[in-house]
């Protein structure tokens, strides 16, 4: 796979620029001599057609939601509406500078305000910030809110622990640690839910709170959710809800009604904004009444038909974003909600849960389903025991040969050889059926011709890649020639 550095020739360029008005040396003389760049950076020199062909070629070696079924569990790889791409490119949005005075950005503040109202309604919670740039950033912000809350109450010294189910996503413990908390793992019981007796035993005056994912990362709704949040509150703690899985109950239930104190949305999951090859996303945070005073500044307020920024919030944790959040992502989420309306929001969760249960019922005949119960928007199979020496990794790679993006694998950690499947609501039944057929065929192959799996993929731009070598002999940039 050649990089762009292997193309082009000295002197070629991919765009043109207005000429300078005076000799270069004269302009350079504005920079003190010792601070002027001595050697130019090594950058590609390519003509525009070369550049376009290179990136078009690269794009074809990629798999996106627009390519086909992308059941990557926990990531909600739903269809990204094309209208949104146009809207985010409107000059009144994309060309707007964030430091213009309030009176010149009323429309943009309106977007933020409108989305804020809808998200508060969806969460059933009274406070919100749109600043966090992604889910994990929301988690960190939430942990800082916990911290400020306890600091304000003079309890921070003793409340140092955050409880986490053992099924939690890796960002949860990492975020809690960044805010200075110590994480304590709570085991799951044989239902795949929080073990209540273990929770009770862990709760105490040293606990700041719990981070829960609802439904959890097995795709299972915590049936005891009200009891869990009540227990935590009774012990003086707070409840963080990781909202990565909101697609499971959108328009039907609200975290605020389940006892959540902080809830993060992933606009790039539930609200259809594209994942961009890894980002950007947005992770707005809704909070319960007691945490409202601590929210990041500024807050967006409406006065009559004008919007304004409220900085007068003495208890705020401060800013977590240099401006007001990932605005162009927020535009897309607002368009999505406006198109769906209440009815559409319910169709999303119905479609997502329907598709997941449909796949689960069919695939459990061929694959191990460690927690066999009603699931929400996703479920977790085990790839263990399929055939001699066959691992989940092999199943995933073989799916590529059949034209599917593999599910999330080896997460959550509590399922051996996990295959985490999230179909989303945007896949037609025919595609779900075709995916099942491929999975069933792979199960047969695992017994009859296991090398087909072990050596997969066979039909991809590259064969299986040696990940260990990339660490043993790291090459993390194009070596200078």
Partner 1 sequence: MTEYIPHTPEDIKKMLSAIGLQSLEALFSDIPEEVRRRYRPLGLPRGDEAGVRRHLEGLAERSTGRGLIPFLGGGIYDHFVPAVVDYVVSLPEFYTAYTPYQPEVSQGTLTWMFEYQTMICELTGMEVANSSMYDGATALAEAVLMAHRTVGGRRVLVPRSLNPQVREVLATYAWGAGLELLDVPYSEEGKLALEGIPDELCALVVQQPNFFGVIEDLSGLKERIGKAFLIVYVNPIALAVLEPPGSFGADVVVGEGQVLGNPMGFGGPLLGIFATRGEYLRRMPGRLAGRTVDAEGRPGYVMAFQTREQHIRRERATSNICTNSALCALAATVYLAALGPEGLRQVALASMERAHELADRISSLPGYELAFSGPFFNEFAVRCAHPEEAVARLREAGIAVLSPKLVAKAGLEGAFLVAVTEKRTQEELSRFVEALKGGR
Q: Which residues contact 481 (CB under 8 A, 6 or more apart)?
A: none
Q: How many CA atoms lie within 13 A of 5 on its CB side?
A: 9
116 binds ligand PLP (CB under 6 A): no
291 binds partner 1 (CB under 8 A): no
DSSP labels, 244-286: GGGGGTTTT--HHHHT-SEEE--TTTTT----TTT------EE
Minimum CB distance to partner 1 smaller for 58 or for 198: 58
What is the three-class DSSP state of 191?
coil
278 binds partner 1 (CB under 8 A): yes
To the nearest 10 degrees (0 to 180), the angle between helices 327-363 and 106-123 is 30
230 binds partner 1 (CB under 8 A): no
| Residue 185 φ/ψ region, left for φ over 0, alpha for ψ in the -120 to 50 degree band, beta for the rest | beta
Minimum CB distance to partner 1 smaller for 124 or for 370: 124
Q: In what order do the strands lie in the sheet containing 408-409?
A: 379-382, 418-421, 408-409
266 binds ligand PLP (CB under 6 A): yes
What span, in angstroms and rounded, lies between the C-alpha atoms of 313 and 297?
A: 7
What span, in angstroms and rounded, lies between the C-alpha atoms of 201 and 190?
A: 18
CB of 166 to partner 1, least distance (A): 11
Query: Measured at CB, which residue is nearest to ligand PLP?
Result: 135
CB of 385 to partner 1, least distance (A): 23
145 binds ligand PLP (CB under 6 A): no
The sign one gets for the Cα dihedral 165, 166, 167, 168 is positive
Pick from 118, 129, 124: nearest CA to 254 = 124
391 binds partner 1 (CB under 8 A): no
Minimum CB distance to partner 1 smaller for 64 or for 290: 64
Which of residues 4, 292, 384, 434 is near partner 1 by CB under 8 A?
A: 4
CB of 364 to partner 1, least distance (A): 11
Which of residues 159, 264, 268, 368 is near partner 1 by CB under 8 A?
A: 268
Per rule CB under 6 A, count of chain residues that contact ligand PLP: 14
CB of 236 to partner 1, least distance (A): 21
What span, in angstroms and rounded, lies between the C-alpha atoms of 317 and 144?
A: 7
Question: ∠274-275-278 over CA atoms, to 5°?
Answer: 160
CB of 202 to partner 1, least distance (A): 16
Site for ligand PLP in 240-259 (CB under 6 A): 242, 244
Kindly report the backbone phi and psi dihedral angles of residue 445, in degrees, each rounded to the nearest multiple of 5, phi listed first: -60, -35
What span, in angstroms and rounded, lies between the C-alpha atoms of 321 and 295?
A: 12
Pick from 217, 323, 333: nearest CA to 274 = 333
Site for partner 1 in 393-412 (CB under 8 A): 396-397, 400, 405-406, 408, 411
CB of 208 to ligand PLP, least distance (A): 19
What span, in angstroms and rounded, lies between the C-alpha atoms of 15 and 454?
A: 46
380 binds ligand PLP (CB under 6 A): no
Minimum CB distance to ligand PLP smaller for 116 or for 171: 171
301 binds, among ligand PLP, partner 1, none (CB under 5 to 8 A by kind): none
73 binds partner 1 (CB under 8 A): no
Per rule CB under 8 A, count of chain residues that contact partner 1: 203
**C-beta of residue 185 within 8 angstroms of C-beta of residue 209:** no
What span, in angstroms and rounded, lies between the C-alpha atoms of 243 and 230?
A: 19
Site for partner 1 in 304-363 (CB under 8 A): 317-331, 334-335, 337-345, 347-351, 353-355, 357-358, 361-362
235 binds partner 1 (CB under 8 A): no
9 binds partner 1 (CB under 8 A): no
325 binds ligand PLP (CB under 6 A): no
Minimum CB distance to partner 1 smaller for 405 or for 441: 405
Q: How far is the first Cα of the chain from the last one, in angstroms, to the nearest whole number?
A: 17
Extract the tokens encoding 23. Answer: 């000799």
Site string for partner 1, 32-51 (x = CB under 8 A): x-xxxxx-xxxxxxx-x--x
331 binds ligand PLP (CB under 6 A): no
331 binds, among ligand PLP, partner 1, none (CB under 5 to 8 A by kind): partner 1
Site string for partner 1, 178-217 (x = CB under 8 A): xxx--x----------------------------------
Pick from 365, 344, 369: nearest CA to 426 = 344
What span, in angstroms and rounded, lies between the C-alpha atoms of 36 and 385?
A: 63
**C-beta of residue 236 within 8 angstroms of C-beta of residue 155:** yes
438 binds partner 1 (CB under 8 A): no
283 binds ligand PLP (CB under 6 A): yes
Interaction site with ligand PLP (CB under 6 A): 74-75, 134-136, 169, 171, 213, 217, 242, 244, 266, 281, 283
């Amino acid at each position: 796979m050649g990089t762009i550095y292997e193309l082009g020739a000295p002197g070629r360029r991919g765009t043109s620029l207005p000429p300078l008005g005076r000799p270069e040396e004269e302009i350079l003389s504005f920079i003190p001599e010792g601070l002027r760049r001595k050697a130019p950076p090594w950058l590609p020199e390519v003509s525009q057609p070369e550049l376009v062909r290179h990136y078009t070629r690269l794009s074809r070696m990629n798999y996106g939601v627009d390519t086909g079924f992308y059941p990557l569990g926990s990531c909600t790889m739903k269809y990204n509406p094309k209208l949104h791409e146009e809207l985010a490119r409107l000059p009144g949005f994309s060309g707007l500078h964030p430091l213009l005075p309030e009176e010149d950005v009323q429309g943009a503040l309106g977007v933020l305000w409108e989305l804020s109202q809808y998200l508060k309604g969806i969460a059933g919670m009274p406070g919100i910030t749109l600043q966090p740039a992604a889910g994990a950033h929301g988690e960190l912000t939430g942990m800082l809110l916990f911290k400020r809350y306890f600091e304000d109450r003079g309890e921070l010294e003793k409340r140092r622990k955050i409880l986490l189910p053992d099924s939690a996503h890796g960002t949860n413990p990492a975020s809690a640690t960044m805010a200075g908390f110590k994480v304590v793992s709570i085991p799951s019981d044989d239902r795949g839910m929080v073990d209540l007796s273990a929770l009770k035993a862990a709760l105490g005056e040293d606990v700041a709170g719990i981070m829960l994912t609802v439904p959890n990362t097995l795709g299972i709704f915590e049936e005891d959710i009200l009891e869990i949040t009540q227990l935590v509150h009774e012990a003086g703690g707070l409840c963080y809800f990781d909202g990565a899985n909101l697609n499971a109950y959108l328009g039907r239930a609200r975290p605020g009604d389940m006892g959540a104190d902080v809830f993060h949305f992933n606009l790039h999951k539930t609200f259809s904004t594209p994942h961009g090859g890894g980002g950007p996303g947005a992770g707005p945070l809704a909070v319960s009444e007691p945490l409202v005073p601590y929210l990041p500044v500024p807050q967006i307020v409406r006065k009559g038909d004008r919007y304004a920024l409220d900085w007068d919030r003495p208890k705020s944790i401060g800013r977590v974003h240099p401006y007001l959040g990932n605005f162009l992502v927020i535009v897309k989420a607002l368009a999505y909600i406006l198109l769906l309306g209440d009815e559409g929001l319910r169709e999303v969760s119905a479609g997502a849960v329907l598709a997941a249960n449909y796949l689960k019922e069919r695939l459990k005949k061929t694959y191990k389903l460690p927690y066999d119960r009603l699931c929400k928007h996703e479920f977790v199979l085990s790839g263990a025991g399929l055939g001699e020496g066959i691992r989940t990794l092999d199943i995933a790679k073989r799916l590529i040969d059949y034209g599917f993006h593999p599910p999330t694998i080896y997460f959550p950690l509590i399922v051996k050889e996990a295959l985490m499947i999230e179909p989303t609501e945007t896949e037609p039944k025919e595609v779900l059926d075709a995916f099942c057929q491929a999975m069933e065929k792979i199960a047969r192959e695992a017994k009859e011709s296991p090398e087909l799996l072990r050596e997969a993929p066979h039909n991809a731009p590259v064969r299986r890649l040696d990940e260990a070598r990339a660490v043993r002999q790291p090459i993390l940039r194009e070596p200078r020639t």
